[in-house]
A and B are shown apart, each in its own frame.
Chain A
Amino acid sequence: MSLVMTLATRNLLHDRLRFVATLIGIVFSVVLVMIQMGLYFGFGHMVTTMIDHANADLWVLPKGAKSFEDPSLLEVKLRDKVASVNGVASVVPLVIGFSDWRIESGEVTPVFIVGVDLKADALRPWNVVEGDVRALSQWGTVAVDRTYFGRLGIKKLGDTAEIRGHKVKVAALTDGIRSFTTTPYVFVDQKEARFYTGTFPSKASDLIIRLKPDADRAKVIQDIRDRIGGDTEVLTTNEFRNRSRSFWLFGTGAGAALFAGAILGVIVGTVIVAQTLYSSTKDHLSEFATLRAMGSSNNYIYSVIIYQALLNAVIGFIIAGAIGYVVVRATERSALPIMISPWLVAALLLLTIVMCVVSGIVAIIRVVRIDPASVFMR
């Protein structure tokens, strides 16, 4: 094995204080980027959680609806027109909207009502951990997520509260169905949803469409558009997902803020690593000049510096990864879950390596100017 690695390691460990400072810089930078991007993906997942679980191929929305939570309504009679299109297997109207939840102490908190059609294979509570969703067919029953117990003032299955002055009982509990808006989702039967949200029977929020297995998707979309007119839109699930993410993450500025934080992290990390690598290289200039005088190629010297940068990157990334893991575990049940996928981990490792190697280039520029003859002057 070449001594390049040995020389790089010894150079790094020679000044331990500087090595620690470099690692702190890298760890700070990577953890910051990890959290920002983890929040971004966490938010991205949260804002589409209902769309992801609606079991839909297509969505019919009021024109301009920006997200699942958009309050605009369409005519429910469109259901029959859509259902008559060749290739459509089922059409389920969805009723959603904000309402008030009052706990026993009299305190009121806003909730987001999601109407469930138990007869249809469409949107309904998932991750049910207690109770039975079928119980929602009884008037005055709800399904809520247990992570919202505090907000909803309840403690267990069977507890009661009021929605718009009407007593409701918790008949099912889910786990992990959280809202990006922090307003708890409350699943109820669709008829009750109209009642709690003040939606007329002639109206619906969206239509959820399932296609037949052999349907030509593009043709069905076009046929639906031709049939239902201009006040509505037909989107695929993926298009609706992207629109929701775009609205919540970029329309509100939340995503831009997260990206700005991530970019800031990369810049801070690069500057810190560049500064410490440069200073380390400067301290070892006479050694690099000696190598050059002995006839070493520039590439040999560059590889020592790049190895130093890579060592910084790998060690820094491992520490940052451990911290990131703790943060992910600590936030997974919070209102701000940080989601880190294997792809994000791989991207972060690549980013860390690029950041450190780019930092190494600053040191390399300094080494390029070394005069091997300087060895004879000292």
Chain B
Amino acid sequence: MNEIIIEAKAIKKTLGRGAGEVQALRGIDLALRKGELTLLMGPSGSGKTTLLLILGCMLTPSSGTVTVCGTTTSNADKEALARIRRDHIGFVFQSYHLFPTMTARQNVQLALDIRGQHGRDAARKSHEALGLVGLEKRARSLPDSLSGGEQQRVAIARAFVANPSVILADEPTSALDGENGRAIMRILADIAHKRDRAVLVVTHDPRIVSFADRIIRIEDGVLADDKSEEGERLRLPKTASWP
């Protein structure tokens, strides 16, 4: 069994107050392991994003504990949570969130810059990260001049350039066509398998299930299905879901 990177125990989360109060998560137990690409799937309003935010240390649970690389997030203040994110987590966002005034290389380098890594070494690492997503020739391009798929690849390079233990990706393929979606998922799968990282992808895109080592389904704030926890490894044909 691979090393656990993030472990959530008995997570409950209540959103809103009074009449608008919603039980977004109702007791989730989950562990993300090194070398595993996990899909978190579920319908809208099922609690996917809330769980992602809690696992990503951006939201604190109403009850339960989250441990990231051995550090418990309970009672951590905002700055301590930011430190955990900085030290252990890389994020890929649905709408890329690249800095429009910075080149592709600078966008990637920002992830090192906020970690106090500057200068030529940081520039070299950023260039290498772009190379790993096949964009070394677009290093000087501004996001506006890149396609959606290229922008998402830059975002992935930014997420893993600092070598985090886990990458959390929110709907990374939803705005992309089939070819670009596949390319993005291949990169994320490579990060999980070749670089031995934990990768969690929140999605309701059925075309990408073939890339998953594990699929977790969430409904009404509870885990409805967790294939690998049951010991069943998913091995769907790689092209089965995509047209």
Interface locus among A78-86, A165-173, A284-292, A354-362: A284-292
Whether A294 and B79, one on each chain, are in contact in the complex, defined by CB atoms closer than 8 angstroms, is no
Q: Which residues of A contact B111 (CB under 8 A)?
A: 294
Q: Does A156 contact B (CB under 8 A)?
A: no
Partner of A376 from the list B79, B113, B170 (CB cut-off 8 Å) is B170
Nearest A residue to B171 by beta-carbon distance? Answer: A376
Partner of B82 from the list A6, A286, A292, A373 (CB cut-off 8 Å) is A292
Q: Does B139 contact A (CB under 8 A)?
A: no
Interface string of A1-38 (1 = CB under 8 A from B): 11110110011011000000000000000000000000
Whether A291 and B58, one on each chain, are in contact in the complex, defined by CB atoms closer than 8 angstroms, is no
Q: Which residues of A contact B20 (CB under 8 A)?
A: none
Q: State in angstroms the CA–CA spacing of A89 and B94 once bound together.
A: 89
Q: State in angstroms the CA–CA spacing of A297 and B95 once bound together.
A: 23
Interface string of B107-126 (1 = CB under 8 A from A): 00111011100110000000
Whether A373 and B114, one on each chain, are in contact in the complex, defined by CB atoms closer than 8 angstroms, is no
Q: State in angstroms the CA–CA spacing of A28 and B118 once bound together.
A: 37
Q: Does A108 contact B (CB under 8 A)?
A: no
Q: Does A372 contact B (CB under 8 A)?
A: yes
Nearest B residue to A4 by beta-carbon distance? Answer: B113
A-side binding surface: helix, strand, loop or mixed?
Answer: helix
Whether B114 and A375, one on each chain, are in contact in the complex, defined by CB atoms closer than 8 angstroms, is no
| Shortest CB distance A350–B (Å) | 28
Residue in A13, A286, A373 with the greatest tally of chain B CB atoms within 10 Å: A373
Q: Does A279 contact B (CB under 8 A)?
A: no
Whether B102 and A1, one on each chain, are in contact in the complex, defined by CB atoms closer than 8 angstroms, is no
Q: Which residues of B contact A181 (CB under 8 A)?
A: none
Whether B101 and A295, one on each chain, are in contact in the complex, defined by CB atoms closer than 8 angstroms, is no
Partner of B114 from the list A6, A14, A296 (CB cut-off 8 Å) is A296
| Shortest CB distance A325–B (Å) | 33
Interface locus among B39-47, B85-93, B172-180, B221-229: B85-93
Partner of B101 from the list A10, A291, A294, A373 (CB cut-off 8 Å) is A10
Whether A7 and B99, one on each chain, are in contact in the complex, defined by CB atoms closer than 8 angstroms, is yes
Partner of A293 from the list B58, B84, B115 (CB cut-off 8 Å) is B58
| Shortest CB distance B84–A (Å) | 8
Known A2-B113, A296-B86; judge A376-B49 contact (CB<8 A): yes
| Shortest CB distance A2–B (Å) | 5
Q: State in angstroms the CA–CA spacing of A284 and B111 once bound together.
A: 17
Q: State in angstroms the CA–CA spacing of A292 and B56 once bound together.
A: 12
Nearest B residue to A286 by beta-carbon distance? Answer: B97
Nearest B residue to A1 by beta-carbon distance? Answer: B118
| Shortest CB distance A368–B (Å) | 9
Q: Does A300 contact B (CB under 8 A)?
A: yes
Q: Which residues of A contact B91 (CB under 8 A)?
A: 293-294, 375
Q: Does A119 contact B (CB under 8 A)?
A: no
Q: Does B210 contact A (CB under 8 A)?
A: no
Partner of B85 from the list A2, A293, A371, A376 (CB cut-off 8 Å) is A293
Q: Which residues of B contact A14 (CB under 8 A)?
A: 100-101
Q: State in angstroms the CA–CA spacing of A6 and B87 once bound together.
A: 23
Whether A11 and B101, one on each chain, are in contact in the complex, defined by CB atoms closer than 8 angstroms, is yes
Q: From residue 194 to 215 of chain B, which have CB atoms closer than 8 A to chain A?
A: none
> What 7 pairs across the A-B complex have the smallest Cβ distances?
A295-B86, A295-B85, A10-B101, A296-B114, A290-B97, A3-B113, A373-B58
17 more contacts with CB within 8 A, not counting A373-B59, A376-B94, are A2-B113, A6-B102, A10-B101, A10-B102, A11-B101, A291-B110, A292-B82, A293-B97, A294-B91, A294-B111, A295-B85, A295-B87, A295-B115, A296-B86, A297-B82, A300-B114, A378-B97
Residue pairs across A and B with Cβ atoms less than 8 A apart, 25 shown, are A1-B119, A2-B118, A3-B102, A6-B106, A7-B101, A287-B97, A287-B99, A290-B93, A290-B99, A291-B110, A293-B58, A293-B85, A293-B91, A294-B114, A294-B158, A295-B82, A295-B83, A295-B87, A295-B114, A373-B53, A373-B59, A375-B91, A375-B97, A376-B94, A376-B170
